[in-house]
């Protein structure tokens, strides 16, 4: 299938999607760095064949007596890891809702831009960009992981954190390493989101509006 380079609007929309994915998905961020370095991205493992299709057909055994339903198991407390995952998901949805409320981000990326000129799209993108940056600055404190200029030679010491520094290219031997800084990286130093009211559904990013 023949592919074409994406236009400005598609690239702008893709940049916002990749931003959230890189923040909350370390594996996706690693693949993005590999692509940026010109390395191939590992292929996903093939899905296994369903058991009912792979196995030969067999005659069904005669029906057995239906056992009595077991006693319901006692409620199991939710593990802390699951609670943390839910809290992170709620925070991501809440931040996305703030970007919609303050910058109309979802309205912008969901709009069909086929009938607009590049100048009109560029003017709208500038407004959305400014409002998104203002919203992020109000609720997130971002800082660079490395402070050197991108493209400069940097040293990676022994005991570095793989979550903060990802090595790409020809990785061999033991640290310390020296290499070119492709991207300085971003870290969330702090986050302050408004306290949710009781009954607030973070999955509703923008309520429908009905004028009477």
Note the pLDDT tens digit of each residue in 72-82: 666 555 565 55
Which pLDDT score is estimated for 69? 66
Residue 150: inside a domain, yes or no? Answer: yes
d(CA 71, CA 1): 56
d(CA 195, CA 89): 15
pLDDT band at 122 (very low <50, low <70, confident <90, very high): very high
Strand-pair partners of 124: none
Q: Which residues contact 100 (CB under 8 A, 6 or more apart)?
A: 106, 107, 205, 206
Residue 156: inside a domain, yes or no? Answer: yes
- Once rounded to an integer, what is the mean pLDDT over residues 41-66? 52
- Across 155-175, b (16+ Cβ under 10 Å) vs e yields eeeeeeeeeebbebeeeeeee
pLDDT band at 65 (very low <50, low <70, confident <90, very high): low
Residue 204: inside a domain, yes or no? Answer: no
Per the CB < 8 A criterion, the answer to whether 175 and 157 are in contact is yes
d(CA 53, CA 72): 33
Residue 30: inside a domain, yes or no? Answer: yes
Residue 157: inside a domain, yes or no? Answer: yes
Residue 209: inside a domain, yes or no? Answer: no
Residue 86: inside a domain, yes or no? Answer: yes
Residue 49: inside a domain, yes or no? Answer: no
Nearest to 159, CA basis, from 139, 138, 174: 174
Query: Higher-confidence residue: 87 or 178?
Result: 178
Residue 55: helix, strand or coil by DSSP?
coil
Q: Which domain holds residue 130?
A: 8-39+80-191
Q: Beta 140-144 vs 153-156: how paired, if at all?
A: unpaired
pLDDT tens sequence across 157-207: 999 999 999 999 988 899 999 999 999 999 999 999 988 888 889 999 989
Nearest to 100, CA basis, from 137, 131, 142, 139: 131
The total number of structural domains that make up the chain: 1
- Euclidean distance between the first and final Cα of the chain, in Å? 50
Helices vs strands, H then E, count in the chain: 6, 4
Tokens 């959230």 correspond to 20
């Amino acid at each position: 299938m023949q592919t074409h380079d994406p236009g400005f609007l598609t690239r702008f929309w893709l940049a916002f999607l990749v931003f959230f994915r890189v923040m909350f998905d370390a594996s996706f961020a690693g693949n993005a760095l590999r692509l940026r370095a010109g390395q191939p991205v590992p292929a996903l493992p093939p899905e296994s064949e369903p058991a009912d299709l792979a196995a030969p057909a067999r005659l069904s055994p005669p029906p057995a007596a239906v056992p009595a339903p077991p006693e319901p198991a006692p409620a199991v407390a939710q593990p802390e890891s699951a609670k943390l995952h839910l809290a992170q998901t709620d925070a991501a949805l809440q931040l996305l809702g703030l970007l919609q409320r303050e910058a109309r981000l979802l309205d912008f990326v969901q709009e069909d831009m086929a009938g607009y000129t590049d100048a009109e799209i560029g003017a709208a993108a500038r407004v959305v960009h400014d409002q998104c940056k203002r919203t992020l600055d109000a609720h997130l404190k971002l800082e660079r992981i490395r402070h050197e200029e991108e493209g400069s030679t940097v040293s990676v010491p022994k005991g570095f954190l793989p979550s903060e520094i990802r090595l790409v290219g020809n990785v061999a031997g033991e640290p310390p390493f020296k290499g070119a800084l492709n991207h300085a990286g971003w870290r969330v130093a702090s986050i302050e989101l408004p306290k949710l009211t009781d009954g607030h559904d973070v999955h509703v990013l923008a309520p429908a509006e009905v004028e009477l």
